[in-house]
Structure 1
Amino acid sequence: MTINSAIKRRIIKPEPRLSDFVENFWMIENTSDSPHDIVVLPNGRFDIAFFYSPEESFQITRIGLETEPAKGSIPPKTLLFAISFKLLAIEYLLDVKAASIVNTVDPLPTDFWGITKDDLSDFECFYKKVSAKMISLIKPNIDPRKQKLFELIYASNGAMSVKELSEKVFWNSRQINRYFNDHFGISLKAYCNIVRFKESLEHIKEGRLFPELNFTDQNHFIKEVKRLSGVVPKELFKDKNDRFLLFNTQPEE
C-alpha cells in the first residue's frame, strides 16, 4: 500500500455519552500544492464535514449515507474536520431523515453549531466543542429496540441475518425494514451488507483477501467488494497513491 506523505490524518473516538450516535471524529489535511484524488467508499455512516481551503474558503457540508463508491478530490492546502455519525443520530440527535440525502452532499449554513474557520486551528478543541453541542441535542426516551438493533449490527459487523436481528430485538422484520426505508432510504439487509463490507476493508488492508464475514464463498466476496468499492480486493489492497478515503480515515493510532 502506497502512503502519500502529503496527506495528514487523525481520528478520535467519541466519549461514552455519544457512542450510540457517533463512530468517530476525523481530520484530513492535504499539505501539498496539488489536489489529491480520492474514492469515497460506503461505510454505513453519514458525515458532517467542516473544511477550509484557499480555493473554496470555509464550508460545512452534510455527506449522506453512501451506497456506492464516489470519486472526488481534496483541493490543495485543504484542512477538513469531520464527524462520522451512526444512523441512530438521524432520529435522536439531528432530527432529519437520511432517506433524502443518500449518496448526496448538501451544504449547511456556515454558522452551523457555532463552528467557524478559527475552530479548525485545533482538532482537540474542535472535538470538545462539537461534543458538548451534540450532548445538549440528544433526545430522551430512545426506543430500546432500535438501540439494541444497532448494537447487534455493529457488534456482528453486519454479518447477522435480518431474521436473527428481528428475533433478538423482538421486532417484526417488516416493521424494521419499513423503519429503515423511511428513515435511511435503504433496507436493513442492504445496510448490513455495507457494514460487513466496511469491516472487510480492514481485513483487505492487512492483505487478507478472502471472505471472513458470512459471505457465501470467495466469488460472492469478490463481487460484493467490487460492487461497493468499484475494484476487486487485490486492487483495493494496493491502494495506489492512497486514494481510498475510508482507509485514510483509519490510521494506526
Structure 2
Amino acid sequence: MENHFTLKFLKPEPEISAFVESIGMFHNQGAEAKEVVVLPDGRIDLFFWKPGIEDFQVTLIGLETAPEQRFIPPGTNAFVVSFRPLAAEYILKTSVADILNSAKNLINDFWNFDKDILDDFDAFYNRVTESVKALIPTSVDNRKTKLFDLIYTSNGDLTVSALADQTGWSSRQMSRYFNQQFGLSPKAYCNILRFRASLGHIAQGKLYPQYNFTDQAYFIKEIKRFAGVVPKELSKNKNDRFLLLSVLKGE
C-alpha cells in the first residue's frame, strides 16, 4: 500500500543545538486522516502548519507526560521546531508551565514567518536557524546549562540530589525552577527522558531494560505509562502510528 504520509527531522546547526534539538516536517498527502500517538519526549514544539482545510497557524505545544492519540487531517502540511527546555526561557522568553499536556496558538506572523514558509522546507530550516541565532542571549545561567547537559547526557538517569550536587543548586531551588518554568518536577522530566532513551532500544527490538529500571516488570510498567502499550506492542508500531518510534527507526 502506498504511504501518503511523509516525515523528516534534521539536526540543527551546532551553534543553536543547546536550544534546538531538531527541525522537521510532516505531510499527510492521503485522502484520510492519519492516526498517530504522540509520546512524551521532553521537547517543546513550535508548529508552523496548515491542518487540512484550516488556515495557516502557529502553535506552541508544551511538554507532555502521557501518550495522546491524534488524527492528522488529509492535506496537512506542518513544519516543526523541537526545542530543548532551555529555549523556553532564553529563546521563546516564556514559561510553558500553563501548557503542560496542552498547547496555545501564537500570532500568525511569529518570527515574521507566514504561510508561504510551508512551500520550502530547506528555506524554513535556514530561516529558523537564523532566527534562533539572533535570539541567543550573550549570557546564560551556567547552572541551567550544566543542569540540562547532565540530564541529556545521562538520559535522565541521575537522581535530583545528584543533579543538585553537580550544579550547585539545591533540590528545592531546582524543583521550583522546573515547576514554574515547565509545569512538572525535575524527577518527572528525567523519567520522560529515560523513557525516550529506551525507545531507541525498543526500535531495535531490545525489549528489556537498558537504564536504571529496577527490573523487567518495572520497565514494562514505565513503558506502558508513557506509551499506553507494553514494549512488545510498541516495537511493532502498527501503521507507523508512534511517530517518535518511526523517526528513531529511520535514524
Which position in structure 2 is the counterpart of 1:224? 222
Which position in structure 1 is the counterpart of 2:103? 105
1:94 paired with 2:92, answer yes
Contact kept, 8 Å, 1:10 with 1:251, in 2: the verdict is no
Contact kept, 8 Å, 1:4 with 1:242, in 2: the verdict is no
Q: 1:65 aligns with which of 56, 63, 66?
A: 63
Which position in structure 2 is the counterpart of 1:163? 161
SS at match of 2:47: strand
Contact kept, 8 Å, 1:8 with 1:29, in 2: the verdict is yes
Contact kept, 8 Å, 2:10 with 2:22, in 1: the verdict is yes
Which position in structure 2 is the counterpart of 1:39? 37
Q: d(CA) in 2 for partners of 1:227 and 1:71?
A: 14
Kindly, what percent of the aligned residue pairs are identical?
Answer: 49
Distance change >3 Å, CA 58–CA 250, structure 1 → 2: farther
Contact kept, 8 Å, 2:204 with 2:249, in 1: the verdict is no
Range with greater deviation from structure 2 (47-56 or 201-210) = 47-56
Could you list the structure 1 runs, at least 4 aligned residues long, displaced by more than 4 angstroms after superposition: none
Distance change >3 Å, CA 161–CA 53, structure 1 → 2: closer
Which position in structure 1 is the counterpart of 2:206? 208
Q: d(CA) in 2 for partners of 1:217 and 1:223?
A: 10
- 1:53: how far off? 4.2
Contact kept, 8 Å, 1:157 with 1:196, in 2: the verdict is yes
Q: Would you say how many aligned residue pairs link Structure 1 and Structure 2?
A: 251
Distance change >3 Å, CA 151–CA 90, structure 1 → 2: same
**2:86 is matched by which residue type in structure 1?**
L
TM-score normalised over the length of structure 2: 0.96
Contact kept, 8 Å, 1:24 with 1:83, in 2: the verdict is yes
Range with greater deviation from structure 2 (101-110 or 191-200) = 101-110
Which position in structure 2 is the counterpart of 1:131? 129
**2:82 is matched by which residue type in structure 1?**
S
SS at match of 2:53: coil
SS at match of 2:162: helix
User: Which structure 2 residue ranges, 5 or more long, are not aligned?
Assistant: none
Q: d(CA) in 2 for partners of 1:153 and 1:206?
A: 23
TM-score normalised over the length of structure 1: 0.95
Q: Which has the higher contact order (CA 8 A, sep 6+)?
A: 1
Which position in structure 1 is the counterpart of 2:15? 17
Q: Deviations over 1:140-188 (max 9, x none)?
A: 2211011001001000111111121111112211111111111111111
Distance change >3 Å, CA 53–CA 70, structure 1 → 2: closer
User: Which structure 1 residue ranges, 5 or more long, are not aligned?
Assistant: none
